[in-house]
């Protein structure tokens, strides 16, 4: 089983769109196989912009 942090040249692309609401603005992201959180913004990443401002 491969992990998101390993380079896997055999990994098939499977792009997915998902939405994230940030301060009443809808942001749409395009993600793909081989990334940490491919179907949503993970909890830690979601907190980042709130801590920067």
Domain assignments of the chain as residue spans, ordered by start: 1-53
pTM of the model: 0.65
CA distance 47 to 1: 30
pLDDT band at 3; cut points 50, 70, 90: low
Does the pLDDT at position 4 exceed 70? Answer: no
Residue 44, helix vs strand vs coil: helix
- CA 45 to chain centroid, in Å, comes to 9
- 31 Cβ partners below 8 Å, 6+ apart? 15, 16, 17, 18, 37, 38, 39
Q: Tell me the per-residue pLDDT of 16-34, one tens digit each, with 9 for 90 and over.
A: 999 998 889 898 999 988 8
CA distance 16 to 39: 7
């Amino acid at each position: 089983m491969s992990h998101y942090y390993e380079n896997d040249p055999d990994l098939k692309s499977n792009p997915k769109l998902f939405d994230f609401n940030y301060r009443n603005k809808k942001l749409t992201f395009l993600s793909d196989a081989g990334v940490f959180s491919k179907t949503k913004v993970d909890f830690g990443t979601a907190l980042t912009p709130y801590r920067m401002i």
